[in-house]
Structure 1
Amino acid sequence: MRPPDALGERLDRLVATAQSEQRAPSVSAAVFRDGEVLWRRALGSADVGREEPATPEHAYRIGSITKTFTAVCILQLRDAGVLDLDDPLRSHVPEAPPGPTVADALAHLSGLQREPPGEIWETLEPPSREELLAGLEDAERVLRPAEAWHYSNLAFGLLGEIVTRRNDAAYEVTLRDRVLEPLGLARTGFHPPGPRATGYYVDPYSDGVTVEVELPVEGPTAAMGWLWSTVDDLARWADFLSTGTDGVLARETLDEMARVRTMVDDAAWSLGWGLGLALYRGGERVFVGHGGAMPGFLAALCVHRPERTGAVALFNTGAGARPETLALELAGAALDALPRTPELWRPDEGAPDDVAPLLGRWWSEGEELVLSWRQGRLRLEVVDGPPGRSVSWLVPEEDDRWRIVEGRERGELLRVTRDGSGAPVKLYVATYPLTRRATAFGGDASE
């Protein structure tokens, strides 16, 4: 797929503007849709000293985007029945402080201090596994669990330790075997093959640059943010976050990861957090993704899951650039320029015989609801209900019992009551009665 010329020019201009105005030695970016990279561009120098031009094939360090990989490894364990999200961290890592759960750690609600004890960002020497675990005795709980969003690399270090212990293998080995290789992410890893960009500190008062120190990979701290990757690999990864893949993680689990657990900015509601995923709201759209920072590198990816469209932006500067802003701008430009053509409606065999009598208008508290059969599924809609919160989709559970699996009142039960002839005369949704005629509470709605 090739983007329209006008869109390609717009994307080129966005990247060139970011590289120039944000003074990045190089920027590598890509836009993808439906599992295919439709545009990519790299500008500037991957290595200033060697005058090496940046290309989309260059790997960049992606920092905390690594946490999305760690989160997938944890959800794999949950889906396999090895752990539960409500388990306390210390039930899997006894050295962990009491209180926060696995889910708290994934959503940055653990209340644990931001970084591992010590001065990792001054010494640039990450703690070993033994040092990390021993240092937990000195770790502060700066907030109560679930009190407020508080970003914690330490919490993800503990999640990395869970991945190690519950898989009986080093974090790096589990990540490679359970995620990277099944998804074909050959250029993503802690020591990826192929060309790599050099990370720089850009002087704020001149145009000089300094090569940053490359931090070593060390134990569970690798789960916090040590990966390298390319725009092509990250586009494939972000698409996976939309669709899931058999043998790695199901779409339904990724749906769970993408649900809001907490808001970062309560007043603006522009940034929330799910299970290991950031949720960015731009207008009516919500993107999932993550940003990343390491010495000499900044990175971001985002994807609009309903449209399976997103973007990646990688910089080889550690300060002054705004990769999340660029990625969202690129994805938004693609969505604006490439509206979907609706699929043609096609008739089918209609509702099953046992479902057809349920369809049509129902009433509850003077509110009209319509039950219909669409594309092989039972659909319940509140007429003139709030946009985005008026539709429920149901699946059969047993005779005359249906479970809401998506949308309004998700998880609740719909029950059917029939008269002596077997005709449906009343429905109950979350115990609220629905009748064929409008009536007040306790009124007679019989025909």
Structure 2
Amino acid sequence: MTAQPATTLADRLQQAAAGMDAPDVVFACSERGHRTVATSGTAPAHRPREHLHYEIGSASKTFLGLLLADLATSGVLDYDTPARDCLPITLRTHRVSAAITLRHLITHTSGLPSVPLQPAFYRHLLSRANPTNPYAAFTQERLLAAFHHHGARARPGIRWRYSNFAVAVLGHALAQVTGTAYDDLLAQRILAPMGLRRTRLAPGPPDTDAPGHRRNGTTPVPPVELGAVAPAGAVRATPGDLLTYLEAHLTPENSPLHDALHAVRTPHAVSRPRRAPARTLTWFLDETEHGPVYFHGGATFGQTAYLGYRPATHTALAAIATRRHNHRNVLVNTAHTLLTSTPA
């Protein structure tokens, strides 16, 4: 019997990309520094898909977490500083919220909900003329006032509860402590040292950003604008920059951010939902037969993304699709399966 040729990494990536029903799809992988990129999609490719900027949604939180780790390992601040001491608005804070630290905000253990549970916040969202960008006009003043008035439902540090609200507050706290606007701070301390010249927090010039689409995969949506919530999900980058970012996590010793990159791998023990993966300071953590896999998914109103890396095999994967995910989140599940099953 004739032996069948082994399926190559390029074949697996192309199969995964072709299996995504979206206008633009990119699966980009790095194995021991060798990069392989596969693209697909239903939209006409007027420009190579791998050269476009894609919105990565909540995977942006890994950039914020790395920024916090860099400031902490550099001695600029302490993980356990109370968040209220780092914010520009000083209102009377609920006694439970007063105990929330910077560490609690990034690890989703602050006790704060995903969004402020206040009528004024929802009136603001519902009043937006453009429902595809309801956060665009949400100001820092509103966000921080909501934090200072909000009583956490649980004592901070006890239980895990995913919170865009908390992470957004952290971004403003770091900006206040350093006296630098968040986008400038991220650029100076993370993007520039890592050589991420094609990563940004705002839409770029025409034809440089991949357009997102609704769940039906055909209705376009404008570029995401998050207002004061930007630290929780505004990063957009090319697949090449995302691989550069992940490769630095694979080999921290080669990066000027080596201390911070090691810090974000440290597991964070906390009570969490039964099927939820473990957590580090900023990544989800999955123990596999080939070693731990660090990963984070993300979505905006028109795009879905996955970032992950496995140090034991020097493998990293970035996957993006320009279609809002459905409840099954096919792209994230496919990408994670591909990364965790890739042979050593």
User: What band does the TM-score fall into relative to the shorter chain?
Assistant: 0.7 to 0.9
Q: Does residue 42 of structure 1 match 2:39? A: yes
Q: Does residue 332 of structure 1 match 2:340? A: yes
Distance 1:271 1:111 in 2: 18
Q: Does residue 298 of structure 1 match 2:298? A: no
Post-superposition shift, 1:35?
Answer: 3.6
What residue ranges of structure 2 are gaps of 5+ in the alignment? 1-5, 129-133
Q: Does residue 66 of structure 1 match 2:60? A: yes
Larger radius of gyration: 1
Q: Percent identity?
A: 25
Q: 2:159 aligns with which of 140, 148, 154?
A: 148
Post-superposition shift, 1:166?
Answer: 2.0
The 8 Å contact of residues 15 and 326 in structure 1, kept in 2 or not, is answered as no
Distance 1:32 1:51 in 2: 24
Q: 2:218 aligns with which of 196, 209, 223?
A: 209
The 8 Å contact of residues 300 and 324 in structure 2, kept in 1 or not, is answered as yes
Cα distance, 1:130–1:186 mapped onto 2, change above 3 Å:
same
Counterpart residue number, 1:195:
208
* Structural mapping, 1:20-419, within 5 Å: 23-37=21-35, 39-45=36-42, 48=43, 52=46, 55-93=49-87, 94=90, 97-116=97-116, 118-119=121-122, 122=126, 123=128, 124-126=134-136, 127-190=138-201, 191-192=203-204, 195-203=208-216, 209-219=218-228, 221-244=229-252, 248-250=256-258, 252-262=259-269, 267-268=274-275, 271-283=277-289, 285-320=291-326, 321-334=329-342, 336=343, 339=344
CA offsets, 1:135-170, max 9 Å, x none?
224434132212211011111112111221122110
Distance 2:51 2:100 in 1: 40
Distance 1:137 1:85 in 2: 19
Distance 2:8 2:86 in 1: 53
Post-superposition shift, 1:267?
Answer: 4.1
Post-superposition shift, 1:176?
Answer: 1.0
CA offsets, 1:213-263, max 9 Å, x none?
4332534x211101111211111111112222677422x443332222146
Cα distance, 1:238–1:121 mapped onto 2, change above 3 Å:
farther
The 8 Å contact of residues 56 and 305 in structure 2, kept in 1 or not, is answered as yes
Counterpart residue number, 1:425:
none
Cα distance, 1:218–1:202 mapped onto 2, change above 3 Å:
closer
Distance 1:137 1:102 in 2: 14
The 8 Å contact of residues 79 and 103 in structure 2, kept in 1 or not, is answered as yes
Post-superposition shift, 1:66?
Answer: 1.1
Q: What's the TM-score, normalizing by structure 1?
A: 0.65
CA offsets, 1:324-348, max 9 Å, x none?
22222332353x1xx3xxxxxxxxx
The 8 Å contact of residues 27 and 318 in structure 2, kept in 1 or not, is answered as yes
Distance 2:145 2:72 in 1: 27
| Matched positions, count | 318
Q: Secondary structure at the match of 1:114?
A: coil
Higher strand share: 1
Q: What's the TM-score, normalizing by structure 2?
A: 0.83
Moved more, 223-232 or 97-106: 97-106
Q: Secondary structure at the match of 1:56?
A: helix
Cα distance, 1:144–1:246 mapped onto 2, change above 3 Å:
same
Post-superposition shift, 1:73?
Answer: 1.2
The 8 Å contact of residues 32 and 315 in structure 2, kept in 1 or not, is answered as yes
The 8 Å contact of residues 271 and 281 in structure 1, kept in 2 or not, is answered as no
Higher helix share: 2
The 8 Å contact of residues 198 and 211 in structure 1, kept in 2 or not, is answered as yes
The 8 Å contact of residues 54 and 209 in structure 2, kept in 1 or not, is answered as yes
Cα distance, 1:179–1:60 mapped onto 2, change above 3 Å:
same
Distance 1:293 1:145 in 2: 27
